[in-house]
Structure 1
């Protein structure tokens, strides 16, 4: 992948567990970009953003995958230049706003198309949530799927398992949207991206989910158990009550899939 020179504009426009995102300008052509920056020395063998850049390179050619422009690993930081996007779906839902079913259908169908593309290439995203669904800058009705930093190839055979009660266990994904398998320490596959998408759809419709994680009140270890119990106690039908049944059916269907089974997109 080519490396190019960029100007970074502060303040940051986003951040995650591993990196911060800035608006940048390609000094060669003047193009505005999103520039991810992560602290990483040259001795690190598996840099986080290099992994994401390789995943994105593999996934190019689908309209819901953002364009990637360049990657560089310098002595103290690594950088990833990619398509500049607009607001996230979470930005469109302030203070528990309920989103119209027609709009939610559009979000789900576009995300489902993106998942079909990445799953058929053997990749599982592992962190589907509103904040990772972005609106195109040129057409806000178009959804782009971002943040492939914890994406992995999935494999044939039986899923690996970890005991959630093990000291130091950290669930994969984001607590509110994670699948029950993630809570149970089971390796994630296509079915888990679908379950997270079902949680996203139901949250957009309802304005909230009954297990909303409150990080300022609960230590993460306790919250993981409480959210896990709440997800088990709420049926798909109860979560989707009052809305078209297809939404609750999506959650039921995702939980019925086998580890190696690709969904019927």
Structure 2
């Protein structure tokens, strides 16, 4: 009995599935071989044999991974960093000098040309990365730049160079470099900790801070303050200003101020970001959801708050930021506080100047500022005048007077205050941390006065967060002077004064002929008191007369 096996034909769905799987397999295999070929080609070009080749700018030699083209040479194994679109940065040398060599693919040649052009224009400033040379071969373009020791990210997170420079010193140099770029109408568009570099020098300043990576920089046209976003969204996520993400946003220098404000906070609070964790950072920027609670200093807080404003027109310029009191030297702070003390010394409660200074002063004085000063310093504070413990003016007066009479203080007080301006200001600001913030921000309206123009920006006002509370003494009426007796003193005529003295001297009764006796008493009183002297004779007489007849007495 014959048995036959019958097979069922494949369904149409099965045939389609087989075809799709076959096509997918072929695509994957093709991509794998393509990628493998590209990797092999790159290795051959960078680390190939020791045989030389010829590039656009001269002969190329590759020996044991060291590539030499023109005056630039670098080791392909010594990688300093990686960028987008296949960009690598190697440690190398240029004309015997250690440099960083940036290697770019042909797709980035246009960007490289723009970067080199802007570097040549701006690298004369000490806080901008220095450019040395450019070389090119058939596959890559090489840019030789100044070699640095660390990034700002290394400074904050790894502690590199922290013994040589303070965080404030780093940020002051960084904003100085950005101010220089903006003065040349150059917008960086990628300010972040990784693009701020630190270089250690044997000579002062020991650590030099520089703005680097000009790949996304763009220059504003003459007369323009902004440009469109035709090139798309540029920058690093988490550090991009909100207007860069909006469809109708215009790019101005303010985009760099926003990013630098985030960098300021990141540096001052040791790695934290005002807009939170990386995964939600950019969305928080768009919704303006920030936190500055980790920053205790009010001066820094108000500065960063204005730098990260949602509206770019509300942000300060780089020049305004650089002149802010957070970057002042201690000697400059002392000069400002003394100048302000002189300015308000003679102000009365009827004027607005003293009112602006004293409003909200309770936060500075903490009840009575005198209790926070050492007894040796406060020893003779009220010797010549009284000081109110709840008055900012009196606190500034004490600071000024102690500095003026420093040599007259007892040795213990001098030791506590310190011999230098830095130690002196530190003594006062340590005990009254809000004094500089309160005084500077409260008196911004004095910016137009010549003596205070140097301390304030003429076009930008920072917020002043304080209460409008005034101390009780501010409402007291001034007491009249005891010598005045509440009434104006009447002046006695000279003649009547002399008459009084003469009549008291001779103890005579009042004369009958007042006109004659007044004259005689006046002359006699002058003679007795020695207030009269002989004058020249008006006429020379031929006849001899007595000496007393020829004398005319007048007041000396």
* TM-score bucket (shorter structure): 0.7 to 0.9
Partner of 1:208: 272
Mapped contact 1:66–1:83 kept (Cα < 8 A)? yes
Partner of 2:144: 81
Partner of 2:93: 25
Aligned equivalent of 1:13, options 80, 84, 107: 80
Q: 1:170, 1:160 → 2: CA distance?
A: 9
Partner of 1:165: none
- Change over 3 Å in CA distance of 1:75–1:85 after alignment to 2: same
Aligned equivalent of 1:253, options 306, 319, 323: 306
Q: 2:83, 2:144 → 1: CA distance?
A: 16
Q: 2:152, 2:315 → 1: CA distance?
A: 29
Partner of 1:160: 228
Deviation at 1:160, TM superposition (A): 3.1
- Change over 3 Å in CA distance of 1:173–1:205 after alignment to 2: same
Question: Which structure 2 residues correspond to residues 68-217 of structure 1 after superposition, within 5 A?
Answer: 68-94=131-157, 103-138=166-201, 141-155=207-221, 156=224, 160=228, 171-185=233-247, 186-206=249-269, 207-209=271-273, 210-214=275-279
Higher helix proportion (structure 1 or 2) = 2
Partner of 1:226: 283
Q: Deviations over 1:171-212 (max 9, x none)?
A: 321122222222324232221111111101111223312432
Mapped contact 1:108–1:197 kept (Cα < 8 A)? no
**Secondary structure in 2 matching 1:105:** helix
Mapped contact 1:39–1:77 kept (Cα < 8 A)? yes
Deviation at 1:241, TM superposition (A): 4.8
**Secondary structure in 2 matching 1:49:** helix
Partner of 1:239: 292
Question: Which structure 2 residues correspond to residues 34-73 of structure 1 after superposition, within 5 A?
Answer: 34-40=100-106, 47-73=110-136
Structure ranking higher on relative contact order (CA contacts 8 Å, 6+ apart): 1
**Secondary structure in 1 matching 2:207:** coil
Q: 2:282, 2:312 → 1: CA distance?
A: 23
**Secondary structure in 2 matching 1:233:** coil
Q: 1:244, 1:259 → 2: CA distance?
A: 21
Q: Deviations over 1:112-131 (max 9, x none)?
A: 11111111111011111111
Ranges in structure 2 where 5+ consecutive residues have no aligned partner: 1-56, 58-68, 323-556
Provide the TM-score with structure 2 as the length reference. 0.39
Quote the RMSD (CA, aligned, Å). 3.2
Deviation at 1:136, TM superposition (A): 1.0
Higher strand proportion (structure 1 or 2) = 1
How many residues were matched structurally? 239
Deviation at 1:251, TM superposition (A): 3.0
